Amino acid sequence: MALTKNPNVLKWLDEMVALTTPDKIVWIDGSEEQLKGLRAEAIATGEMEELNQEKLPGCLLHRTLPSDVARVESRTFICSRNKEDAGPTNNWEDPKVMYEKLGKLYNGVMKGRTMYVIPYSMGPIGSPFSKVGVELTDSIYVVLNMDIMTRMGAQAFENLGDTSNDFVRGLHSKANVDENERYIVHFPEDNTIWSINSAYGGNVLLGKKCFALRIASYQGKNEGWMAEHMLILGIENPKGEVKYITAAFPSACGKTNLAMLIPPEIYKKKGYKVWTVGDDIAWMRIGPDGRLWAINPENGFFGVAPGTNEKSNPNALASTRKNTIFTNVCHNLDDNTVWWEGLDKNPPKHAIDWKGQPWDGSVSTEKGAHPNSRFTAPAINCPCISDKFNDPQGVPISAIIFGGRRAKTAPLVYQARDWEHGVFVGSIMASETTAAASGAVGVVRRDPMAMLPFCGYHMGDYFQHWLDMGKELGGKAPKIFNVNWFRTDDEGHFIWPGFGDNMRVLMWVLDRCEGKAEAVETPIGYEPKPEDINLEGLDIDLDTLKGLLDVDKGLWKEDASGIEEFYQKFGSKLPKELKAELETLKKNLD
Ligand code: GTP
Ligand code: SPV
Ligand code: MN
């Protein structure tokens, strides 16, 4: 039975049913009873495997095809009516042409299958930040993941109401999972997403990157707010005051880890605590007090498994110990649990690898888990989840941090001189590519604000939107910083210990926001005095830290010409403020 009377939903559903011709339609109400049935069905068909219910209660394992393990940026499109509106960094096709082309692929694709109708809310139900989406899919895996990642079920329709047309229409079919016919397509002007021939997370959980970043960034520009690829965390001082920070790092560059960090002993014993609000996406609005406020639109974590362990990220690990879906990890057959590289030093001997093949960790030279294998874990499982996680108003932001993987150029931390300079700092972000997207790994590319694969419109307009938001925020704007945890020595080892010790850098960041710490002016912005980063209890001396903060003018001059070349892409859409910032940087380097 239909879960809504909203004629806009029903009309669109009728059209999509006529196109894809499923045998059966199931409305997802979000009830535990219904989910139980779907889990049982997925286990019965082999789509998912039930893990050890004593050690991992409620946990399931799933493998996608080896050709379908990451986002595919080359097959991701922004189909605005005018090509110019998608900009130089997105793939584009005329929406009419694309609807027709994909229409052929969707034609009858759900024959013999069930269509699940998933209503969901991005953001807490009832929050002024929140937005509703409906995803139609032929995958139970998608339903079960959406249950963890969003507020899914009948309540989302209640939020939408009986007449509103303001919902994102998502259509997904795994079809034959044919990589040559794979498309992840956004029609921002129609509030529509069409995804076909994939069954991997970022391509098919349409509430996440597709809606909450690509469509939402477009909505944000038009409606005066921001959708960003950012974690949100709170740092509580011994007096019980909490200050909030957002940080944008590209995929697989440390957002989940920073969001859940465990304070080093020196801070813990003084009474500092860290709280997680979000690990991947932030929606931000200017509040009635004129400050920037953020919510996490998601309800769970779709986190990178490899490297997650008791030491690096115990909070993430704890989050995955119940009601979690594991995708493309290694299956330990001895006790029916999961394993991945970096979990511990005891790879199972009797196991199935991410490709579904028998695997013996004591001899194999292949990886047991895919480098982009993931866990889908409910946010409420996280031991350090913030008490503001469900707050409809979100949290006020004191600082915004940009960062990426740079072996050399970027120092451990620096602060932008002001908002405009901060927008410049975000716009010139560069990072080595990771396994989160298909393609080469370790190649440095420009990834402005970590949004290169996620901005749903012209990136030049996006920079302008950042500048406009700054004007509106005025003196209440968060301070902007850049960090790099990934500088390496001559042997390629990371110099900075990272993980929990990143808090030492965050403390300088917060001190700067409160006017409590000094800074040194450099050609690229303000840096800490080395003695202002607390190294107590660390195996790092002041000279190493000075090296981490070093600004190599030669490398930066090379970078400046790289930026100049990158900026040329945007033509007349490049805001003049950013052009001026580049000139200032070049002058400072001479
Ligand atoms: P997405 O979910 O793809 O957006 O990734 P993310 O930005 O949340 O990255 P995540 O925290 O999952 O980290 C990705 C990889 O970076 C993992 O293998 C981590 O172990 C590693 N990593 C995270 N933080 C640090 C750090 O401070 N130092 C070092 N050296 N590695 C880190
Ligand atoms: C990312 O790649 O940035 C992710 C994972 O967070 S995905 O959902 O696949 O986009
Ligand atoms: Mn991400």
H-run or E-run covering 285: strand 282-286
Which atom, in ligand 1's list, is nearest to the CA of 279? 8
- 513-561 per-position pLDDT tens digit: 999 999 999 999 999 999 999 999 999 999 999 999 999 999 999 999 9
Which atom, in ligand 1's list, is nearest to the CA of 304? 12
Compute the residue count for the chain: 590
Structure tokens given for 469 = 């938001």
Q: Is ligand 2 within 6 A of the CB of residue 201?
A: yes
C-beta of residue 163 within 8 angstroms of C-beta of residue 4: no
C-beta of residue 123 within 8 angstroms of C-beta of residue 159: no
Torsion of CA 215, 135, 38, 15, to 10 degrees: -160
Known catalytic membership, residue 330:
no
User: With pLDDT > 90 as the criterion, what percentage of the chain qualifies?
Assistant: 99
Which atom, in ligand 2's list, is nearest to the CA of 203? 9
Residue 232 predicted with pLDDT over 90: yes
Which atom, in ligand 1's list, is nearest to the CA of 249? 7
Q: Give me the numbers of helices (H) and strands (E) for the chain, helices first please.
A: 17, 30
C-beta of residue 102 within 8 angstroms of C-beta of residue 183: yes
CA of 354 to the centre of ligand 1 (A): 20
E strand map for 447-564: 479-483, 520-522, 525-527
C-beta of residue 209 within 8 angstroms of C-beta of residue 153: no
Q: Is ligand 2 within 6 A of the CB of residue 306?
A: no
> Under DSSP, is residue 243 helix (H, G, I), strand (E, B) or coil?
strand
CA of 408 to the centre of ligand 1 (A): 18
H-run or E-run covering 56: none
Residue 126 predicted with pLDDT over 90: no
Residue owning the nearest CA to atom 14 of ligand 1: 252
Q: Which ligand is nearest to the CA of 304?
A: 1
C-beta of residue 327 within 8 angstroms of C-beta of residue 354: no
b (16+ CB within 10 A) / e for 146-158: bbbbbbbbebbbb
- 305-364 per-position pLDDT tens digit: 999 999 999 999 999 999 999 999 999 999 999 999 999 999 999 999 999 999 999 999
Q: What is the mean pLDDT of residues 558-576?
A: 97
CA of 60 to the centre of ligand 1 (A): 23
Q: Do domains 228-299+389-589 and 300-380 have the same CATH topology?
A: no
Q: Is ligand 2 within 6 A of the CB of residue 453?
A: no
CATH of 7-48+72-224, one of 2.70.210.12, 3.40.449.10, 3.40.640.10, 3.40.190.170: 3.40.449.10
C-beta of residue 395 within 8 angstroms of C-beta of residue 421: no
Catalytic residue among 59, 79, 210, 253: 253
Which atom, in ligand 1's list, is nearest to the CA of 306? 18
CA of 541 to the centre of ligand 3 (A): 33
CATH of 228-299+389-589, one of 3.40.50.300, 3.30.465.10, 1.10.10.10, 3.90.228.20: 3.90.228.20
**pLDDT band (50, 70, 90) for residue 16:** very high
**Residue ranges covered by each domain of the chain:** 7-48+72-224, 228-299+389-589, 300-380
Residue owning the nearest CA to atom 10 of ligand 2: 202
Q: What is the mean pLDDT of residues 79-89?
A: 98
Q: Write down the pLDDT at residue 289.
A: 98
Whether CATH 3.40.50.10680 fits 300-380: no
Q: Is ligand 2 within 6 A of the CB of residue 375?
A: no
Ligand 1 binding pocket mutation candidate from 229, 257, 373 (most atoms within 8 A of CB): 257
Ligand 1 binding residues, C-beta < 6 A: 249, 251-257, 279-280, 303-304, 306-307, 312, 436, 485-486, 494, 498-499, 502
Q: Which ligand is nearest to the CA of 211?
A: 2
Q: Write down the pLDDT at residue 1.
A: 81
Which atom, in ligand 2's list, is nearest to the CA of 208? 8
Q: Write down the pLDDT at residue 335.
A: 97
Q: At a CB cut-off of 8 Å and minimum separation 6, what does 203 contact?
A: 68, 71, 72, 182, 184, 195
CA of 255 to the centre of ligand 1 (A): 6
For the chain, give the mean pLDDT: 97
- 406-453 per-position pLDDT tens digit: 999 999 999 999 999 999 999 999 999 999 999 999 999 999 999 999
CA of 281 to the centre of ligand 3 (A): 7
CA distance 314 to 215: 33
Nearest to 481 by CA among 464, 506, 460: 506
Ligand 1 binding pocket mutation candidate from 253, 308, 370, 494 (most atoms within 8 A of CB): 253
Task: Please tell me the pTM assigned to this model.
Answer: 0.98
CA of 251 to the centre of ligand 2 (A): 6
- 178-189 per-position pLDDT tens digit: 999 999 999 999
**pLDDT band (50, 70, 90) for residue 493:** very high
Q: What is the mean pLDDT of residues 94-106?
A: 98
Residue owning the nearest CA to atom 4 of ligand 2: 251
b (16+ CB within 10 A) / e for 24-35: eebbbbbeeebb
CA of 250 to the centre of ligand 3 (A): 7
Residue owning the nearest CA to atom 9 of ligand 2: 202
